[in-house]
Structure 1
Amino acid sequence: MRFWLYKLTYDNGGAPCAFRSVLSLAICKPRIREWARPGDWIVGFGGRSRPQLRGERLIYMAEVAERLTPCRYYEDAAYAGRPDCIYERKGDGLVWKPGSRFHLYGSGVARDLGPEPHYPKANVLLSTNFRYLGAAGTEDYKAKHPALAAAVEAKGVGQSAYEPGSTIGRELAALQRELWREHADRRVLGHSTEPPEQGGEYVDAGAEGQVATRRGPGCSGPRTIVREHRRRGASC
């Protein structure tokens, strides 16, 4: 087991995508998607490259449950309705799915999928044991975990892997226990920091299980908030 740490450039619901109690990493971070295995942990923090991310906040932690081999995510109908399933099979190749909210018009195909016909980068990581904070994430972890704070502050682009017995690995494990203890019954704790590229909706898991669905820039019609109550005991 290893911890994979990286900084997000965007937090708009695409990578990661927390949807219907499953978190997926299907686009961006091709090396993590290639190297991570079930049982590993993915930990994403905000970056300093864009002020919209509001600092080096903890965005999410997720334990990898399954790693889908290239193309399966985009060919299996079970995943077709997920927001980050932005490619589909057409003939002998994968193409960008019209109307998708991310990597508009196939702008990320080389990074997401790799060269045809085998698309070696089209691996997808799935998690059911995660906490997605999004806009609700903070930098509070820095006060309790100084080695982790220093590693995040020094981090640039790319990813780092830490063994559980290392100093940073131990601090990440402690952070995971604290987060799960504080939020034992909820996996999604806030909406994405930014709306999708194509506008659309993102989810804000509020108090008492309420969900506020907000429209971001680029959507037609007025800005609206629609609330619905989830069944008692729902996890996110």
Structure 2
Amino acid sequence: MTSVYMYAVSYDLGFAPNPFGGICSLACCKPAIRSGAKDGDWIVGLTGTKLRPALRCIFAMQVTRSVTFDEYWASEEFETRKSRRNGSAKKQVGDNIYHRDELDAPWVQEDSVHSLEDGSQCPLNTAHDTRVNRVLLSERFVYFGASALAVPAHILASMNYAKNPRDMRKYALAEAKCLIDWLEPQIVAHRNIPLDDPINFDATSKRFSATRQRMV
């Protein structure tokens, strides 16, 4: 049975999700979604309390495949998705950041958005991200970024999502059909091409502060 996952995006840097290069990936954050979503399921990210105004659609992706972190790291297909903190804005938000020297070895976290302020590994983010060893990939997505569209009120009301968005809600496809029907023409017209830069694209050089528990 197809499911639809909808959640409020805290930071839209182009990191989680990463919509560049014709693929939309969810490699970090949202372990519950990365654990549960199957091929064919939908993931929809909205603005929330941290990205005003709320209830605008930042992206929608239909999962078409998934890989492990080690597979993601080792594949030439995803080489360009590795983080390069001295590179362009797109390179700085690369989400291909986790790998191991061998199966039971500790995770290595490359210098990235989820590293500490000095570029060293962040144990908190490493533990949170690698709790689920799975990267979701989509070759059928639409990404609005800073041009995020307001979701019609009647759609949100029909899904009982009309008030402040919660962190994550899971729906059966029948319950979210009106949302997917609204998104489908956008996907057909703008498939796999970001329509705008991420909302927080001017902050791609930021990292995670363990003391402040936020991006700085």
Instruction: Indicate whether the TM-score tops 0.5.
Output: yes
1:59 Cα deviation from its structure 2 partner: 0.4
Counterpart of 2:174 in structure 1 is 165
Counterpart of 1:11 in structure 2 is 12
Q: Which amino acid aligns with 2:59?
A: Y
Taking the aligned partners of 2:109 and 2:184, their CA distance within structure 1 comes to 39
1:87 Cα deviation from its structure 2 partner: 2.1
1:21 Cα deviation from its structure 2 partner: 0.3
Q: Aligned-pair RMSD on alpha carbons?
A: 2.5
1:35 Cα deviation from its structure 2 partner: 0.4
Taking the aligned partners of 1:35 and 1:153, their CA distance within structure 2 comes to 25
Structure 2 vs 1, CA of residues 144 and 69 (structure 1 numbering), >3 Å: closer, same or farther? Answer: same
Structure with the largest fraction of strand: 1
1:37-87 Cα distance to aligned partner (Å, 9 max, x none): 100010000111x2x444221100001000213532233343233011122
Percent pairwise identity: 27
Alignment of 1:191 onto 2:197:
yes
Taking the aligned partners of 1:57 and 1:185, their CA distance within structure 2 comes to 18
Residue aligned with 1:18, SS: coil
Q: Runs of 5+ in structure 1 lacking a partner?
A: 115-120, 201-217, 219-236
Structure 2 vs 1, CA of residues 137 and 198 (structure 1 numbering), >3 Å: closer, same or farther? Answer: closer
Structure 2 vs 1, CA of residues 11 and 111 (structure 1 numbering), >3 Å: closer, same or farther? Answer: same
Counterpart of 1:71 in structure 2 is 70
Taking the aligned partners of 2:66 and 2:203, their CA distance within structure 1 comes to 26
Counterparts of residues 1-236 of structure 1 (less than 5 Å): 1-48=2-49, 50=50, 52-69=51-68, 71-82=70-81, 83-90=94-101, 92-98=105-111, 100-104=112-116, 105-107=120-122, 108-114=125-131, 121-139=132-150, 141-147=151-157, 150-151=160-161, 153-157=163-167, 159-166=168-175, 169-181=176-188, 183-184=189-190, 187-195=193-201, 198-199=204-205
Aligned length: 187
The answer on whether the counterparts of 2:141 and 2:191 sit within 8 Å (CA) in structure 1 is no
Structure 2 vs 1, CA of residues 75 and 93 (structure 1 numbering), >3 Å: closer, same or farther? Answer: farther
Larger RCO: 1 or 2 (CA < 8 Å, sep 6+): 2
